Amino acid sequence: MIVTVTMNPAIDKTAEVDELVLGGVNKLRVTQVDAGGKGINVSKVLRVLNKPNMAIGFIGGNMGSSIRAKLQKQMIMADFIPVEGETRCNLKVRSAFGMTEFDEPGPNIKPEELDQLYGKIRLLAKPGMLFVLSGSAPAGVPEDTYAKMTEMLHGLGCKVFLDTSGALLRRGLEAAPDYIKPNINELMALYGVTTKFGSSEEMIEWAKSKATELYSRGLKFVAISLGADGAIFCDGLESVHVPAKKVDVVSPVGAGDAMTAAIAYCLDSDMYFRDIIRYAMAVSAGACMTEGSEPPTKELIVKFLRQE
């Protein structure tokens, strides 16, 4: 079984507007309301792939109750710790400008609530089990939390897939998680790169070199998602760039999480490097063709897997 940890889940509302007016009134058409947060998005895709998994983390208030109900409806095992604060609600608005996102910060987590999460992780951990630590952390959670979780899980014989950004990623890497999947913007921030690349080719070569460097820190697998430019995969023997599949994009929300889920599914199933790449690209392409952060259907995934 795979366990996903989402410390800062959300209700994700996806809406459309004909013209986004700054400083004015915008009348939205709500198209999708999902249980979200990166780890929860991973769990939803794993459910489609028939991989047993459990989602844990923090939830609170009415939004937290809504997340619990939606996961139950999707038959996803969940065991979240209730907190006093209110789980956040994020709004994603599609317009002529593209997708504009408004993300709330989430509740303030108390030290005793964080201790409860550590305890739940210890209770669930079994040797060989894979834990996916995903997403941002709400207020009250120290930036070395993922690093401490990684060290604890390694001590219990578990594997760790880290998918986060900023200080959580930087500090998390100090504990040498087994697998990571930053996107290109998160990777640039990690290395302090603020200037844009002159071309896609330059960006890809830079990212490939960084994937190799990150692998040398003691990791076992590195993936870097590049959006429309595809993704890079490194297993220590080679660092490979794979172009994105051409699809009619409905919503890019959750595509990176879908890739994380596909990689976690394959690694937990002991698949070969090339099969991991096939699944990662197929599942993330399928996620781009669904509304909001909904996972791709199994039929859509199979369709892309059959493409060369």
| Catalytic machinery residues | 257
Contacts of 220 (CB under 8 A, 6+ apart): 178, 179, 235, 236
Secondary structure (3-state) at 200? helix
Q: What is the mean pLDDT of the chain?
A: 95
Question: What is the pLDDT, as a whole number, of residue 293?
Answer: 82
**Which three-class secondary structure state does DSSP give residue 277?**
helix
- Whether residue 239 contacts residue 223, with contact meaning beta carbons closer than 8 Å, is answered with no
Predicted confidence (pLDDT) at residue 292 exceeds the cutoff of 80: no
Confidence at residue 281, expressed as pLDDT on a 0 to 100 scale: 97
Whole-prediction pTM value? 0.94
CATH architecture of 2-21+28-305: 3-Layer(aba) Sandwich (3.40)
Is the Cβ–Cβ distance between 184 and 207 less than 8 Å? yes
Per-residue confidence (pLDDT) for residue 294, from 0 to 100: 87
Any idea which residue has 């490097």 for tokens? 273
**In degrees rounded to 5, what are phi and psi of residue 181?**
-150, 75
> DSSP label at 78?
E
State the pLDDT confidence band at 10, using cuts at 50, 70 and 90.
Answer: very high
Helix, strand, or coil (residue 152): helix
pLDDT (0 to 100) of residue 9: 96
Residue 308 pLDDT class (50, 70, 90 cuts): low
Among 13-17, 35-39, 173-177, 291-295, where is mean pLDDT lowest?
291-295
Q: What is the 3-state secondary structure (H, E, C) of 248-274?
A: CCCCCCCHHHHHHHHHHHHHHCCCCHH
Nearest partner of 241 among 250, 232, 249, judged by Cα: 232
Q: Please check whether residue 91 is in contact with residue 13, taking contact to mean a CB–CB distance below 8 angstroms.
A: yes
At 225, is the secondary structure helix, strand, or coil? strand
